Amino acid sequence: MSPWRVIVAAILLLLRGGRRGPAPQQPLDPRERRVPFNGRAELLVAALLMLGGLAGLGFALVYLLAPGGETQWLGLAVGVALALIAAALIVAGKAVVPQEIAVEERSELIDEQAEQEVPELLAEGVQGVTRRRLLARAAGVAGIGVGAALVAPAASLGPNVAQRIDATPWRRGVRVVDERGRAILADDVPFGTFVTGFPEGASLRDLASPIVIVRLPPSTIHLPDGRAQAAWAPEGLLAYSKICTHAGCAIALYRYPSFRATQPRPALVCPCHYSTFDPARGADVIFGPAGRPLPQLPLAIDPGTRELRANGGYSGSIGPAWLEVKRGGA
């Protein structure tokens, strides 16, 4: 017999067999229950929970001990804590607790027999877990850590922060420097513009650090009572906090008319909501939503080097005057 005939005969046999259909089979039962008894997985779950708790505690420590720190470290700490706890739950669900596949038949809403079986089902749910105390304690550490991370920001609530806000790096004799740490001389501040200064050696990110310095003709300066011009505005130089008393934005605009005496007088302007302050009159508010003047910093000029120095502290509290932020105000 030729090979071609053998191939055709085999194909015909296969077709005939396919027409007969598959043999009847019994339906498969999908129900299954496996108890893993995996000690290594339990240790891994405990380690992940404890590490997650430590990361949560790290968030609280960074928040409380370094309030001026980088916020990305806070986000990293709480993110790592939640990721580790999630990993612990995944491992526990896959390799620690019993694995069960069941088909539940639809029944009445209230089944007294099923209610009586609930305690037994709960007891079966922990079968195969040999380190229950370890896992419970690790879960406690994780809960404490994440709880501390959630509760720590509550330290920022409430009005009792007046001392923290009023504490500034400005003291009598502190040199005024620019953002690169170079001393600012009295001759560095011309008419018609402003210069931003900082206290030497202090953090540039401290809200109480930046000041705006302007120069005005001494004859146009009329400061509030108790602020002698010689001690607060030598040679017409005036310094005020750069932080707006409305919403805490930075004073970044200076209006200095150079034509027509009928034009508005010089003023410091906040670009956020256009609060406008009169530097010649103690930074009184002449326009906008700010509720009080900018705190003034008294200046002194070193007779030898012409360097600008602080002649004392601010005339009042820096920043917004919200009652929820601090008690009392300037």
How do residues 287-323 score in pLDDT, each as one tens digit? 889 888 999 999 999 998 999 999 999 998 888 865 4
> Which residue in 135, 141, 143, 147 sits closest to 45, CA to CA?
135
303, 182: one domain: yes
E strands within the chain?
32-34, 99-101, 176-177, 194-199, 211-215, 237-241, 253-255, 267-269, 276-278, 284-287, 296-297, 299-301, 308-310
pLDDT at 176: 95
Q: Name the residue range of residue 55's domain.
A: 32-103+117-157
Do the domain assignments include residue 25?
A: no
pLDDT at 61: 86
147, 186: one domain: no
Do the domain assignments include residue 148?
A: yes
247, 199: one domain: yes
**Count of domains observed in the chain:** 2
57, 190: one domain: no
Q: Which residues contact 42 (CB under 8 A, 6 or more apart)?
A: 96, 129, 130, 131, 134, 135
- How far is Cα 57 from Cα 77, in angstroms, rounded to an integer? 9
Do the domain assignments include residue 11?
A: no
Do the domain assignments include residue 17?
A: no
198, 304: one domain: yes
Q: What is the CATH number of the domain that holds 199?
A: 2.102.10.10
- How far is Cα 93 from Cα 80, in angstroms, rounded to an integer? 20
Question: pLDDT tens digit string along 60-109?
Answer: 888 888 765 567 888 888 899 999 999 888 888 888 878 777 777 766 66
- How far is Cα 203 from Cα 101, in angstroms, rounded to an integer? 61
168, 282: one domain: yes
Query: 170: buried, middle or exposed (CB in 10 Å: 19+, 13-18, 0-12)?
Result: buried
Q: Residue 117 is inside which H or E element, if any?
A: helix 112-124
Do the domain assignments include residue 318?
A: no
pLDDT at 326: 46
201, 272: one domain: yes
151, 208: one domain: no
175, 192: one domain: yes
257, 305: one domain: yes
Do the domain assignments include residue 59?
A: yes
Do the domain assignments include residue 316?
A: no
CA Rg, the chain, in Å?
Answer: 37
Residues with pLDDT less than 50, the chain: 4, 8, 11, 14-15, 17-20, 323-324, 326-330
94, 206: one domain: no
140, 200: one domain: no
Do the domain assignments include residue 14?
A: no
